[in-house]
Amino acid sequence: MNKAGVFIKKFAKKKDILIASLILISAFILAIIFWFSPFEGQLYACIYIDGEFIESIPLQEELLQEEIKTQYGTNVLMILDNKVYIKESDCTYQQCVNSGSISRPAQAIVCAPHSLVITIEDAESVGRHR
């Protein structure tokens, strides 16, 4: 057996392939549940701070800018083309700014230093907060 063959035989054993397959199948099932569930109707950007629901903003085509000020700092939320994103933040890691935009139900933007979570929810889900 050549060197590459020996490497593959010793590196990837049957149990290794089994573990990789189980994780890939789990990812596939979760993706179907989270990513491909159908939705219709008006969607909202829901803002949570410290796990508490603060407000919901309907997604829209036109540009909308909103400043979210908390005791932890400030995030600037933008809505455009039915998508939500964080334009600016004074947080440490800027992960919320780098997350990009979200537009599907259950998607979220997280700003851990500001304890801020923005999720996309449908009207029924928003109604439960009121």
Partner 1 sequence: MSKNARNHTGTNRKAAILGILVIVFFLLEHFLLGGIKMTEGVKIGLYNAFIILAIIKFGPKYGFILFFLKLLTGIVATSAALLYPLCGGIISVAAMSAINSIFKEKIGYLGIGITGAAAYNITVYIAAAVSLSSAAILYNLPAALLLSVLFGSVTGAIAYLTSKVMNLSRTNGGKNEEI
Indicate if the alpha-carbon torsion angle 122, 79, 57, 92 is positive or negative. positive
State which residue, 23 or 65, has the beta carbon closest to partner 1: 23
Q: Which residues bind partner 1 (CB under 8 A)?
A: 7, 10-16, 18-20, 23-24, 26-28, 30-31, 34-35, 48, 50-51, 92-93, 95, 98-100, 106-108, 110, 112, 115, 117, 119
Determine the Cα–Cα distance for residues 97 and 129; give it in Å rounded to an integer: 26
Rounded least distance, CB 8 to partner 1, Å: 10
State which residue, 21 or 42, has the beta carbon closest to partner 1: 21
Report the candidate in 29, 22, 75, 80 with the shortest Cα–Cα distance to residue 48.
75
Residue 33 is inside which H or E element, if any? helix 14-35
State which residue, 62 or 71, has the beta carbon closest to partner 1: 71
